[in-house]
Amino acid sequence: MNIFSIDYIKEKWAHAGFQKYFQNTGWMFASKILSMGVSFLATIYIARNLGPTNYGQLSYALSFVGIFSFLASLGIDNILYRDLISYPEKRKELLGSAFIVKIIAGIFTAILISVVVISSSGSNDISKILIIIISGTFIFNPFQIIGLEFQARVKSKYLSITAFIVTIILNALKVIAIFSGKGVLYLAMILLLEPILYTIFYWFIYEKHTGEKITSWIFDKKIAFDLMRDSWPLMFSSVFAVIYSEIDQVLIKNMINTYSVGIYDSAVRVTEVFYFIPNIIIASLFPAIINAKITSRELYQKRLQKISLLLVCLAGLISISLTLFAPFIIKILYGDAFVGSVVILKIYTWSLIGTFLGALIANYLIAENYRKISFFVNLIPMIVNVLFDIIWIPKYGIIGPAYATLIAYSLSPLILLFFTNTRKDLLKMFRTTKSHT
């Protein structure tokens, strides 16, 4: 049947499975678009009023804390999501075990960051206080696993509504703080409030819409051990991913200054507005991909191939648009004080292709349980990014890390060609593509 025919489209549209995933994706897209729009406008307002230097202080603190996020997450989320889909009958044990492990890790991480910052040498600038405050978010983040439970059930409506409400509250507080003449310390306190609000809302919607109590979750030592055993390669992989996504701002601050961090980060934020696209597409369709893998290997590969093509096309269109309109975008959004961000945006935006595909690759490697390959897919780009940053920042300034990031993000898909199993899958997907052209 011709896939462009009216009859084919009507048939697919009426399919119950399609409607289920379409509505789930629709809620996530609507919430993310509205939330990202509100957050982005608030960030622009904050950056314009703080200026590059003060904005750079906040950006540096966020990046520094972000580097330690792997210790708080332990790479468990993706494994938990996979198991919630595969073993729904064990959800209480899975949720309870993951929660206890993550809350211990979150408290440990917050304490570790505080000790590192307090004991570090150098001037006692405001960045240290900002880092300590923001690190407190790790203590409340474990409740985010409730979101994974609703995603596994393909019921993201409640999560989407919650995300939008929290976004409105937080960004309203941020704008009020800046309008009232408050500084970055107030913004850090508002950032600490975010996971607390999510905890309250998630707790409420879980108990209301599942009819179960969070206190009914069960801690199982074996399940906890299994989660950590399966996730430790992902944890190390996330270390590398986090480092090469956050290290630029940290190195720029220490090798140049906070003003340069503000200029660089403003361009990064424009690009990151689009990061939600692959995450939503993959989060919504990942259950269908897992089910296809169980049913038919060919169907599984076809779905991977179609999603890959979709992600590349979307990333390419966005990158072209941002490159063409970069001067206009930076001037309108940030003003003349951030004009140095234009060249960074033109370079950094092309990392979207690698970023979009990287999100799919991460889930594909989990589905196949290729933990060792996942390790190298993140290790190699991290090493490349850090080395190029160290070499290029002194030589080229903030343009250096922009190119370093572009190269690092582009490596992930190429690394799959160096492993037999993933190379075979890619070749089969390519042959599937050719047979349908």
- Whole-model pTM: value is 0.72
Type of residue numbered 320: I
pLDDT for the residue numbered 122:
61
For residue 26 the two structure tokens come to 């629709």
Tokens found for residue 69: 């996020």
> Rounded to an integer, what distance in angstroms lies between the CA atom of residue 136 and that of residue 114?
9
pLDDT of residue 387: 93
What is the distance between the alpha carbons of residues 427 and 254, in angstroms, rounded to a whole number?
44
Cα 339-340-342 angle, rounded to 5 deg: 75
Domain residue limits, the chain? 20-435
Q: Which residues contact 344 (CB under 8 A, 6 or more apart)?
A: 263, 264, 267, 268, 398, 399, 402
Please report, in tens digits, the pLDDT of each residue of the chain (437 residues total). Answer: 444 445 544 454 445 554 455 555 666 667 777 877 788 888 888 888 888 888 888 888 888 898 888 888 877 887 887 788 778 788 888 888 988 999 999 999 999 999 988 887 665 578 888 999 999 999 988 888 887 777 766 566 777 788 888 889 999 999 999 988 888 889 999 999 988 998 888 888 888 877 788 888 889 888 888 888 877 766 776 777 777 778 888 899 889 888 999 999 999 989 988 887 887 788 777 777 777 777 777 777 777 788 888 899 999 999 999 999 999 999 988 888 899 999 999 999 999 999 898 888 887 887 777 777 877 888 888 899 999 999 999 999 999 999 999 998 888 788 888 888 788 777 776 665 454 44
The whole-number pLDDT of residue 3 equals 40
Whose tokens are 């090493």? That residue is: 383
383-to-380, 389, 396 alpha-carbon distances in Å: 5, 10, 19
DSSP class of residue 336? G
How many Å apart are CA 307 and CA 317, to the nearest integer? 16
Q: What is the distance between the alpha carbons of residues 203 and 198, in angstroms, rounded to a whole number?
A: 8
To 5 degrees, how large is the angle CA 251–CA 253–CA 258? 155
Q: Which pair of structure tokens corresponds to residue 77? A: 């989320």
The predicted structure's pLDDT at residue 124:
55
In angstroms, the CA 155 to CA 325 distance is 37
Question: Residue 57: CB partners within 8 Å, gap ≥ 6?
Answer: 125, 126, 127, 130, 184, 258, 261
Number of C-beta neighbours around residue 325 at 10 A: 12
